[in-house]
Structure 1
């Protein structure tokens, strides 16, 4: 199958530091190549991929030191490049929200669009109603709730390469928080849980410009005033095995409808259980009492974190391999692609191609003939 993967341009593929969508695209692309498919990746030139790369920008946007840049212009240029090559692919898989809809309306029947973000935004229903011909994939069932009437084709949970993370059979006595410093991620809850347990907390987190005030005025004083808390900043994939594998539990104390939560399966890959607030996708990812605990209050989270070290870390890793490997994700997407191809109308050849006899040695394509 000839498959195009079209990624956002904000982070490298995979990201050098923090980043979710581009990381998933990287792992999906490589897994599809390993399964024998012909995959083309449209991305910035700093992508590392086993697929054929079509570079559409010199580097990913966020870490580009250029002061003045336009993310809209970059993405429009990429979509133009994809459109010029549209006939080269059986399936074009977009990870760019809805920005491609007006460009590809005539080609919707050969596209799949995975939505990676939250969908409870005011202006979204009208977009997905207007361009209802585009088949959509959700990354959790819960993500669909704000748009129940959209053209959903499947839910495919994220996956990661099993070999990317080392299994850690024994933790080192601390709790971990990995993600963004933002109000909806509730790093304050993580600090409270660890403090009340009198247990060290390591925080590897990104501080976006939009969350700078929240960090400076609220979270930073909590970190600097607490000897139990160590803030290590952003980390890359090569650092995650040690960081997550050494933890007794990953704290995932969110307070918003998280569409998936990639860090949960990263922790499971290391054998580390997850203590997650029952919100958004977490009940679909965490198996309560097996790969972690689902909680509704800080008090419940404290009790869960105190007992997380008793869970079987080998079983946690085994569940990750079964449910959330990159290969498992790729096979589920292949089912989606196959369904798309089965729905596509048969393109009959013009009548002249059917009835006109071939002259000797004349080469003619019979693509499309029964």
Structure 2
């Protein structure tokens, strides 16, 4: 099958990944290729060249105050290229509205995986256009499907995200510190994780890009104690290595997260997770792999962490295997074949 994959073009689809969307797109494209399919990935020009990248802009316009104008032209160029070349299906992973609007008149199925909550332009485009016969939508969790349901005129397909289990083998062999990783922004709740760790008297190791410097300087830096460690923005292999001594991976998000790949990556490594009952979190764990805080406060989070600490790594890993990259990719391919 010949698949046109549209990425969110603002950031490279390459390690170290800026966030879950970049990681998802990269791993799924690699799996499409491994399964024998031909892909073209429309993405930032600095993305992984192994993914057959077709990029229209590099960094030259991305810091421009009027980048949105250039971004619109970029997506128009992408869609024109797809029209002029023979693809079987479009898998849209961007958060831009133009692939949705264009998809109404496209001659091939356009499948969009929804990665972000209903936001102004994307929500508007989907509300108006989603009744079109060749527009199709995939949602990564049941909770997120409920969020998008009012705006989808023809329903959606549920396909859970997955991770490369070979890239995240079971490694946990000690219980020395709590672990947190992700984009360092208020919504991800790193400050809450630090407060919980301090109340428990357990060190916290954390990693990720500082996407909100004000939040980092005002809320994170003052909280860091001698035993806490900021590891920086790491490659996935380095993140995995730090799982060896993690007692629990803490998830303290302040928003309704559509999925949460970090939870599966931790569990695949044998590290149980503890977190707030927000977004898809409860869908991703069971009693053998993690614990959910009943309330959205530190006391409840600590109780969940305490419940998760003694969980057996082999059982944690076993549960994570339900969310494999191969299973996810095959479900997408089966869906594409059904549409064709």
What is the CA distance between 1:214 and its match in structure 2? 2.4
Q: TM-score, normalised by structure 1?
A: 0.82
Unaligned runs of 5+ in 2: none
- d(CA) in 2 for partners of 1:60, 1:202: 36
Look up the SS of the partner of 2:149 in the other structure.
coil
Look up the SS of the partner of 1:102 in the other structure.
helix
What's 1:361 paired with?
none
For the structure 1 residues 164 and 71, does the alpha-carbon distance in structure 2 shift closer, same or farther, using more than 3 Å as the test? Answer: farther
What is the CA distance between 1:334 and its match in structure 2? 1.3
For the structure 1 residues 2 and 58, does the alpha-carbon distance in structure 2 shift closer, same or farther, using more than 3 Å as the test? Answer: same
Q: Quick check: 1:153–1:336 contact (8 Å CA) kept in 2?
A: no
Q: How many residues align?
A: 331
- d(CA) in 2 for partners of 1:182, 1:108: 40
Look up the SS of the partner of 2:156 in the other structure.
strand
Q: 1:176-212, CA deviations, whole angstroms, 9 ceiling, x for partnerless residues?
A: 111123222222221121111111111213222xx33
What's 1:31 paired with?
31
Larger Rg: 1
What's 2:111 paired with?
112
- d(CA) in 1 for partners of 2:113, 2:214: 32
Matches within 5 A, 1:39-58: 39-48=39-48, 50-58=50-58
For the structure 1 residues 40 and 122, does the alpha-carbon distance in structure 2 shift closer, same or farther, using more than 3 Å as the test? Answer: closer
What's 1:349 paired with?
none
What's 1:356 paired with?
none
- Asked if residue 136 in structure 1 is aligned to residue 137 in structure 2, the reply is yes
Q: Quick check: 2:142–2:158 contact (8 Å CA) kept in 1?
A: yes
Structure 1 segments (4+ residues) deviating >4 Å = 66-69, 122-125
What is the root-mean-square deviation of aligned Cα atoms in Å?
A: 2.4
For the structure 1 residues 195 and 260, does the alpha-carbon distance in structure 2 shift closer, same or farther, using more than 3 Å as the test? Answer: same
Residue of 189, 192, 196 corresponding to 1:193: 196
Look up the SS of the partner of 1:85 in the other structure.
helix
What is the CA distance between 1:213 and its match in structure 2? 2.3
Q: TM-score, normalised by structure 2?
A: 0.88
Residue of 207, 210, 229 corresponding to 2:210: 207
For the structure 1 residues 302 and 60, does the alpha-carbon distance in structure 2 shift closer, same or farther, using more than 3 Å as the test? Answer: farther
- d(CA) in 1 for partners of 2:110, 2:277: 33
- Asked if residue 73 in structure 1 is aligned to residue 70 in structure 2, the reply is yes
For the structure 1 residues 8 and 246, does the alpha-carbon distance in structure 2 shift closer, same or farther, using more than 3 Å as the test? Answer: same
Q: 1:225-254, CA deviations, whole angstroms, 9 ceiling, x for partnerless residues?
A: x23322223222121111233211100011
- d(CA) in 1 for partners of 2:332, 2:122: 24
- Asked if residue 166 in structure 1 is aligned to residue 169 in structure 2, the reply is yes
Q: Quick check: 2:100–2:126 contact (8 Å CA) kept in 1?
A: no
Look up the SS of the partner of 2:148 in the other structure.
coil
Look up the SS of the partner of 1:303 in the other structure.
helix
What's 1:85 paired with?
82
- Asked if residue 11 in structure 1 is aligned to residue 4 in structure 2, the reply is no
Look up the SS of the partner of 2:171 in the other structure.
coil
Matches within 5 A, 1:323-334: 323-334=322-333
